Amino acid sequence: MTINEIPYYMCRSLILTIIIEVIVGIIIGIKNKKDILNIVLVNMITNPVVNIIPITLNVYVSLKARTISIYILEVIVLFTEALIYKKVLSYKKINYFLVSLILNLSSYGIGEVINHFV
């Protein structure tokens, strides 16, 4: 990845994450428009961080540091988003931590599959 490709990669990642997490959210029963909007807004905050730190580490340190940072950041995001969802979502059918886990595993897993083919 070159420096010029980073904005494209980050935008693609954010858009795919939002699409995947909104679809999965709807599948698990999140139908309230405000809750859907909150899923989008939360990802607009967390997704760029989860992408820029590993990219930077890959450029300045190593691929191994990038890989390790992804796993650490994903765990941090999982808990951060769960706490935010606890405060902002009106959806109560599933525990907020489980909502965050389902959405993040879905977007990460599907994103990995898409990146494998693109």
Residue 112 belongs to domain spanning: 3-117
Note whether 24 and 103 are within 8 A (CB). yes
What does the alpha-carbon distance between residue 63 and residue 76 come to, in Å, rounded to a whole number? 20
pTM: 0.91
Terminal-to-terminal C-alpha distance of the chain: 13
Note whether 15 and 53 are within 8 A (CB). no
Kindly state the tokens that stand for 11: 């935008």
* Total structural domains within the chain: 1
Question: Using one digit for the tens of pLDDT, what is the confidence trace for 40-82?
Answer: 999 999 999 998 888 888 777 877 777 888 899 999 999 999 9
Percentage of the chain lying above the pLDDT 70 cut = 99
Question: Using one digit for the tens of pLDDT, what is the confidence trace for 20-31?
Answer: 999 999 999 999
